[in-house]
Amino acid sequence: MKPFFCTNVYALTEDSLVFAQHRLMENNEINSLGQENIPNQLTGSEVDAVETEMMDTLVEASAFYAIVKGRLLAVNNWYEIADLPAASFSLFDHLGQEVNRAALEGDYIRIDIPGPGPTEGEGYDWVRIEKISEVSGTDQELLTMQVRPSAHPSQPAESPAHFLDDSATATFQVKRLGLFIQVEHRGRNEVANTNTSSVTDNIRNTLVGWTAKLGLSYPQWKTLVSGLISRK
């Protein structure tokens, strides 16, 4: 006769394995959701920051997705949302006027990072929101916002006012798959912007670009992603 405790241990281990396999399958599914919206990595460096939460019910999951989506589009609040903010962000419309609302496609984001900024950006780095899209269904929801380095909105120039050139993109996604909510930042094709008309900017962009290449930009994006999905 088998000891009772042995049977229970085996059953518990088997259940745990099934649960772990189920979680892995769902994680793979949510990671692949919306991947077609992320540019291919062709040159330079890349950086990924991802955070996931699991809710108790579908109603809670859908409600929390809406909250997190709202946080992502509230660009002016990113500084407060990030647990350890290193840069501040301000939203501007397509005419270059500062606005306090949810982000729209065609808007600009002004970034104030520690240290001197590019002269062509009046001391700030700039990106343009080139795409915002959302798809939703009964069991999944997805918001994608993609930005690209740009010139100052009121001072058109051949090169972007940013330490990266305009081959780089940053794609933010908020996803819901069943009970799971996931927030992602996917940086692709990050190459230092060294072809500006300013020698000072070229040197500055090279130095800042190297810090990003060494992975020093990852903590900034990780803290923002963590703040966006925080349940606090």
* Mean pLDDT, residues 6-27: 49
- The b/e string for 9-21 (b: 16+ C-beta within 10 A; e otherwise) is eeeeeeeeeeeee
Query: Residue 47's pLDDT is what?
Result: 93
Phi-psi region of 68 (alpha: psi -120 to 50; beta: other; left: phi over 0): alpha
> In CATH, what number does 33-228 get?
3.30.530
Query: Residue 209's pLDDT is what?
Result: 73
**CB contact at 8 A, 205 and 192:** yes
Distance of CA 146 to the CA centre of its chain: 9
Query: Where along the chain do its domains lie?
Result: 33-228
Query: Residue 146's pLDDT is what?
Result: 98
Query: Residue 180's pLDDT is what?
Result: 96
What is the percent of the chain where pLDDT is above 90?
62
Phi-psi region of 39 (alpha: psi -120 to 50; beta: other; left: phi over 0): beta
pLDDT in tens, 95-138: 999 999 999 999 999 999 888 888 888 899 999 999 999 999 88
Residue 8: band (very low, low, confident or very high) from pLDDT cuts 50, 70, 90: very low
Name the 3-class secondary structure at 197. coil
pLDDT of 169 higher than 60: yes
Distance CA 89, CA 183 (A): 18
Least confident piece of the model among 71-75, 173-177, 220-224: 220-224
Query: Residue 20's pLDDT is what?
Result: 46
Q: Model-level pTM?
A: 0.85
pLDDT in tens, 152-165: 998 877 789 999 99
Query: Residue 210's pLDDT is what?
Result: 67
* Mean pLDDT, residues 69-85: 90
pLDDT in tens, 18-76: 444 455 556 788 888 999 999 999 999 999 999 999 999 999 999 999 999 999 999 99
**Residue 63: C-alpha distances to residues 53, 134, 141 (Å):** 13, 16, 11
Query: Residue 74's pLDDT is what?
Result: 98
More reliable by pLDDT, 215 or 184: 184
